[in-house]
Structure 1
């Protein structure tokens, strides 16, 4: 395959490749991506690429075209079939492959699809994605006769997930599970069948039309079915997954959501007990209570940029055993591989819950350090303007002597708490969040943020 191909300009994103099937994303794009990615792998000395796909209606055809493109460059392709994204990562780690591509639309609408990629244990994003676009557009591609084999890793993957559950005696544990008809459903069902206790499985059938609710556990409305199941069964915990199984949502026995930073607190307590002084990474949207708690526990808190690819790279740089984002990506390099695997995170969290008196996660949740915060606020800002707004706000903050971090946007700390303003890397929006100790503190922070936005010619959404 030596012909050139130009991708629709909207599908080459910061962290992956994503588009609307039949509008901006076609099988020809998958074929061209395979050829460009295979070229990148071969020119770096690689030979084998694993490929997986999620449960979307369009995924099998895109996967077949992707494999065709890869084979045309002379690489060996290892097809691992349908399943969650972390199973594809597991395949790369455990079969000696050099790289991997997952065909997945993640938590996006059913008409969307895309590709997540990794090469030599690191994510492919940013400049790498732009390079793929250039290789395809110029037709500067390797050619060869690649090979294809099919491997079934479900058994090995399930066994690995279960290996770190250490409480087989926890027969009284009650769990409700919700796969949202996403790609995690089959593995979720197999896990639940092997774990002790009573388990209710919801929407475990993989269905790319997502007939019951959208598979995004960060949106409270998508957790309502799970909340009702927890209440009906008097379950100790409810667990939800996104469309491709790399993000998790959790509900305690009282029906209250544990957000990403709170899940990190629970895992940090466990990991820092055996790895004192270890680094724990969280994105800039996380609560200050998390960073303070990690420090109190003897760990090294590190605030970093939002984006699963950026977090993974920082973990590799620092050797951190734990990281996470408010979006529900949890990364465990403690006894595991360091990639974002919501199924593995579920097992580790269940292991912690199984050790609690009465499996009472709700009591632990109520005792966690807390603050009052806004949800994530997202509002439109032109693509060509959004980063300039952040620069202008940062300049005014610096001139005024404010205390702030510019790791990702601006996160301002003052006597009332903190507020964040950052530009989305994937959409034409600005993202804001505020957190204070009291309602009055929160009002003061929102007023401060609003003033800065108005100086930039913008208004905070209601």
Structure 2
């Protein structure tokens, strides 16, 4: 495809986010964009001396069309393409790592609404993000000879690798909610091979997401799973997002096990084998997590939010495990250092086999009062202004501020965080307090500061 002058078409720059490319299909994101991206990824791969990449896609209605156009651009750009087909993002990552490929592209809108889609890009085994992503999109690209595409079946090998991570899992009664996302078919195959009793909901892949929005970090999207766990008196429930890289967990009491709590449960298990190791968590995580890591003999490391930044901090610190409040968890102890929620589910089951009931463990945690992650609509162009205005007032007041990512403000009552989302036109916030009254006060404080800068806290 060309721009009408004979030159290859450009990629719409409005698609570029901090960590991937995303946009509304047929408005911001078109077939021509996918083809143009394929040419540019091919040029980047060849520029590194590479020859072959993997391509996979999620269950969105637009994904097959975008995948075909992307593959066409890659082939025109002179690289070999191994088409892994429909499946979760972890399956694509597995193909790149296990087969020693030179990169990969996943066509996915992740947890975004069904009318949106996008691309996650690997060069080698590293995600392309930030300035490197923009440079890739803007680089010149011309056709080159030697490209070809072929289907490659990796589902069986990926399934076997996941099951290896679940060795020692006890025979539990588990509810599973795939959210009609790309993990649905693999969940069916996994549960057929795991011990115990399994109850599956919303596992039919449907890009309209008829059951609920595909994001388990939002409590509203866990209502069906919580009801299933309570009604059937199950041991736990596990949920996934649209492309299977975010995990949500419900314990046997029907309570949400927040991602920082899940990270602590897994980290305590990992630290028995790696005493003194670092554990990386994002700025939205509870103080309970960092206190628990220290009590287990580990070293907690605070990182900016964003799955690629969490991964980078994990590799830099030599940490065997890392995670963030959105439900992205990473492990290099027995995996590839990628955010694969299916793998994390298998690790959880194996850890329960070693450590015992997740429900009983959660009930021993110190009680705090916290909000979930709050997402506040804010145009991208206004995010920096709002944060700068609020920071200026905090500095004038002598507040205790951690600027690892946005503003994390500590007070005698607890702490609150305000930061800019890297993937959506939103600010994200979280508040945690030691007492219920403190939570109300801190939330009111943050509400007032946001309103004075023109943001409605809902």
- Superposed CA deviations along residues 354-389 of structure 1, whole A, max 9, x for unmatched, are 3455xx322211112331112323333343332133
Moved over 6 A (4+): none
Distance 2:34 2:193 in 1: 37
8 Å CA contact 1:122–1:312 kept in 2: the answer is no
Match of 2:305 in 1: 306
Cα pair 1:123 1:312 within 8 Å, conserved: no
Contact 2:278 2:300 in 1 (8 A): yes
**Correspondence 1:240-259 to 2 at 5 A:** 240-259=239-258
- 1:295 corresponds in structure 2 to 294
Match of 2:427 among 427, 430, 433: 430
Q: Secondary structure at the match of 1:295?
A: helix
TM-score, normalization by structure 1: 0.94
Determine if contact 1:277/1:298 at 8 Å carries over to the other structure: yes
Whether 1:285 and 2:284 are equivalent positions in the alignment is yes
SS in 2 for 1:392: helix
| 1:418 CA drift (Å) | 0.7
Aligned partner of 2:21 in structure 1 is: 17
SS in structure 2 of the partner of residue 213 of structure 1: coil
1:371 and 2:372 are equivalent in the alignment: no
Distance 1:207 1:356 in 2: 36
Per the alignment, do residues 440 and 161 of structure 1 end up closer, same or farther by CA in structure 2, a change over 3 Å counting? same
Q: Bigger shift: 51-60 or 397-406?
A: 397-406
Secondary structure of 1:285 counterpart: coil
Query: Which range moves more in the overlay, 217-226 or 270-279?
Result: 217-226
Q: Distance in 2 between the 1:193 and 1:299 partners?
A: 36
SS in structure 2 of the partner of residue 336 of structure 1: coil
For structure 1, which runs of at least 5 residues remain unmatched after alignment? none
Q: Which of 431, 434, 439 matches 1:442?
A: 439
The CA deviation at 1:432 is 2.1
Instruction: Report the Cα offset of residue 396 of structure 1.
Output: 3.7
SS at match of 1:245: coil
Alignment partners' CA distance in 1, 2:67 and 2:453 = 45
Alpha-carbon shift at residue 82 of structure 1 (Å): 0.9
> SS state of the match for residue 133, structure 1?
helix
Partner of 2:136: 132
TM-score, normalising length from structure 2? Answer: 0.94
Offset of 1:191 from its aligned partner? 0.9
Asked whether the equivalents of residues 315 and 321 of structure 1 are also in contact (C-alpha less than 8 Å), the reply is yes
How many residue pairs get aligned? The number is 454
Matches within 5 A, 1:205-284: 205-284=204-283
Aligned to 1:334: 333
Instruction: Using the TM superposition, give the Cα deviation of residue 26 of structure 1 relative to its aligned residue in structure 2, in angstroms.
Output: 1.2
Structure 2 unaligned blocks of 5 or more? none
Contact kept, 8 Å, 2:376 with 2:455, in 1: the verdict is: no
C-alpha change, 1:234 and 1:451, in structure 2 (3 Å) is: closer
Cα-to-partner distance string for 1:285-335 (whole Å, 9 max, x where unaligned): 111111111122111111111111111222222221111111111111111
Q: Which moved more, 1:378-387 or 1:45-54?
A: 378-387
Q: How far apart in 2 are the matches of 1:430 and 1:207?
A: 29
Give, in whole Å, the separation in 1 of the partners of 2:447 and 2:115.
36
Instruction: Provide the C-alpha distance between the structure 2 equivalents of 1:113 and 1:448, rounded to a whole number of angstroms.
Output: 36
**Quick one: distance in 1 between partners of 2:164 and 2:200?**
21
Q: How does 1:325-364 map to 2 (within 5 A)?
A: 325-357=324-356, 360-364=357-361
What is the alpha-carbon distance in structure 1 between the residues aligned to residue 408 and residue 212 of structure 2? Answer: 34
Q: 1:96 to 1:393 in 2, by over 3 A?
A: same
Q: Is the 8 A contact 2:31 2:66 kept in 1?
A: yes
1:12-411 correspondence to structure 2 within 5 Å: 12-135=16-139, 139-141=140-142, 143-167=144-168, 170-171=170-171, 173-357=172-356, 360-411=357-408
Is the Cα–Cα contact under 8 Å of residues 389 and 453 in structure 2 kept in the other structure? no
Please point out which of 434, 451, 457 is paired with 2:453.
457
Cα distance change on mapping 1:403 and 1:306 into 2, 3 Å: same
- CA distance, structure 2, for counterparts of residue 444 and residue 203 of structure 1: 39
